[in-house]
Structure 1
Amino acid sequence: MRGSHIKSAAPPPLNALRTFEAFARHGSMTRAAAELCVTHGAVSRQIAALQASLGVVLVSGPRHALVLTEAGVQLAERLTPAFSAIIDAVQTTRQGEAREIEISCLGTFALKWLIPRLPGFLEAHPEVRVRLSESYQSVDYRRDRFDGAIRIIEPDELHPRAEATRFMPQYQGPVGAPNLMATLPTLSALSEAPRLRSATFRRAWSAWAELMGLNLPAATVEREFAHNHSMVEAAVSGMGVAIAPWAFVAPDVIAGRLAAPFGFVERPSWFAFLRPEGRRDTAVDAFRDWLVAEGERSPPPPVHSFDKS
């Protein structure tokens, strides 16, 4: 009919959507309240108002253990990238301010590989600031709001709503203090040495042995550390032998703090940069491209052939 028009429903208040998104991402009203600098009660009221506005139940369960309903999950999956895009747009349009990107990274990789190279990126891109946060968790961009992440990716590993760019292969091998490794001339001797491992990848020894076609006996002594950087320092101190990624130990091997007489073997996994799917950002593009270039320039590990006896 001429002159008529269809009236669309008014959108719910933006503040209620933002509050719900924070709660969905954290899974906690307390943590959402801390992020938004409001009270727990304010978060609860905003979510209740949003549900009333939409006429849909978004959360269910007792007040101290609320969980998202299916409708809540679907809404949250769309809101998180939307709010990230708004933040990106605001930061991009601010005049005279550098664009800050937050990169989630494996701690040992950051210390041993990324940070020593990072000045080169910052010099080439003075308009970009890089904030690093340490994490070993799987990346899930339905929940996570950082701009990119560096992880070791296994062939069967999935990261929801992420675009993955492989930038460096993954090699592993046994390393230890030079004076200790000098006493371990064969794989048989190596298998009897104290074994160091990280809680972040407990099966490093068995995975390496499988790639080498070895049948390792049970360890006589095992020492576990919470993170790879602690394990590497324990190896430097002579506490035992660690199976470590080349990227984590290359500076120490090159400097002579660690020895790797048995070389390294390539694993069916790789270092990858993960960014939110479908989100365009020139600063993140530049960081991704720089990672790829640095990965190509990274020195390869020593590879030796030896008797398996």
Structure 2
Amino acid sequence: MKSAAPPPLNALRTFDAFARHGSMTRAAAELCVTHGAVSRQIAALQTALGVVLVSGPRHALVLTEAGTQLAERLTPAFGAITDAVQATRHGVAREIEISCLGTFALKWLIPRLPDFLEAHPEVRVRVSESYAPVDYRRDRFDGAIRIIEPDEVHPRAQATRFLPQHQGPVGAPELMACLPTLAAVADAPRLRSATFRRAWPAWAVMVGLDLPPAKVEREFAHNHSMVEAAASGMGVAIAPWAFVAPDVKAGRLAAPFGFVERPSWFAFLRPEGRRDPAVDAFRDWLVEQGEISPPPPGRASGRLSEGDGQRA
């Protein structure tokens, strides 16, 4: 029996773009076509398949169950096509895109990256900044670095833990010298990042500190701005050790009360089931770097002593 002809590839590509972005307008921008062209391609695909793929009002279309199932299969397939074309275009060289938390990229990843590039000259690494949850049903990058909480789920991702997360209070050396106890730290102006507003109360629970309401609180969009504000003397920040280690070592920041280990970690997330030697090599290198990354100074275990808690 003669098999049915497959739907047009362009219609499938257009539908994949819409499914990833959840927007006709953003899909049109990616494909460099008009909003109407995207709408017509999706309509043509639905007709060819005899299945409803999107529903709802024109300004708020969403995927149906059939549309979701199709998108989950198309996105990795088009990703594989992109990889194959790129490999052909660049010969043996392979460029991988790594999505990374901005502050982690600046303070931890990029200073170490020359080591990977020297060991793997056949691989080019492009680092892009993002704090968004990873979802490989829509995301096209090759890997991502995120802080993972124990209850987090990232669809279609394979996670590899490579670095523990320690957090503690940091500030300008002149300011921290005037704060002899944890109670004094809690009374100082508090700096926080919009990407993790729970940093202060989470840290207080871990060190057994009864955290009073903040007298002064200043919020910044991202951790790197918060860290710079702390170094300038604007207040005290509860920051991950990985974000502040270079500044503490250089004397720009002081951390006299050390760091505690949180029940979360830095992980590398890659598309589930996609084979890629370059991504494998990058993942293995991250694990190696995590193993040799120095722990917080003074308290290798990452725990405050009982005496420190009593001083608060």
TM value normalised by structure 2: 0.95
Aligned match of 1:19:
14
Aligned match of 2:73:
78
1:88 corresponds, among 60, 83, 89, to 83
Matched, 1:292 2:293: no
SS state of the match for residue 9, structure 1?
coil
* Mean Cα deviation higher: 137-146 or 56-65: 56-65
SS state of the match for residue 150, structure 1?
strand
Shift of 1:197: 0.4
Shift of 1:95: 5.3
Aligned match of 2:113:
118
Aligned partner letter, 1:161: R
Shift of 1:43: 1.1
Aligned match of 1:37:
32
Shift of 1:64: 2.0
For 2:233 and 2:93, how far apart are their aligned partners in 1?
Answer: 44
1:195 corresponds, among 187, 190, 198, to 190
Aligned partner letter, 2:84: A
Shift of 1:107: 0.5
1:272 corresponds, among 242, 267, 285, to 267
Matched, 1:216 2:217: no
Identity of aligned residues (%): 86
For 1:189 and 1:39, how far apart are their aligned partners in 2?
Answer: 59
For 2:83 and 2:240, how far apart are their aligned partners in 1?
Answer: 34
Aligned match of 1:146:
141
Shift of 1:94: 3.8
For 2:32 and 2:185, how far apart are their aligned partners in 1?
Answer: 55
Unaligned runs of 5+ in 2: none
Aligned match of 1:3:
none
Alignment of 1:167-182 (within 5 A): 167-182=162-177
Alignment of 1:158-173 (within 5 A): 158-173=153-168
Unaligned runs of 5+ in 1: 1-5
For 1:112 and 1:37, how far apart are their aligned partners in 2?
Answer: 36
For 1:239 and 1:189, how far apart are their aligned partners in 2?
Answer: 15
Shift of 1:89: 2.1
2:255 corresponds, among 233, 238, 260, to 260
Shift of 1:113: 0.4
Count, aligned residues: 304
For 1:128 and 1:114, how far apart are their aligned partners in 2?
Answer: 16
For 2:152 and 2:90, how far apart are their aligned partners in 1?
Answer: 40
Aligned partner letter, 1:201: F
For 1:282 and 1:179, how far apart are their aligned partners in 2?
Answer: 48
Matched, 1:102 2:61: no
For 2:308 and 2:102, how far apart are their aligned partners in 1?
Answer: 35
For 1:64 and 1:175, how far apart are their aligned partners in 2?
Answer: 47
Aligned match of 1:307:
308
SS state of the match for residue 171, structure 1?
strand
Aligned partner letter, 1:152: I
1:247 corresponds, among 227, 242, 248, to 242
For 2:308 and 2:285, how far apart are their aligned partners in 1?
Answer: 39
For 1:193 and 1:64, how far apart are their aligned partners in 2?
Answer: 48
Structure 1 residues 149-187: Cα deviation after superposition (integer angstroms, max 9, x where no partner): 000000001001100000000000000000100000111
Aligned match of 1:128:
123
TM value normalised by structure 1: 0.96
C-alpha RMSD over aligned residues? 1.2
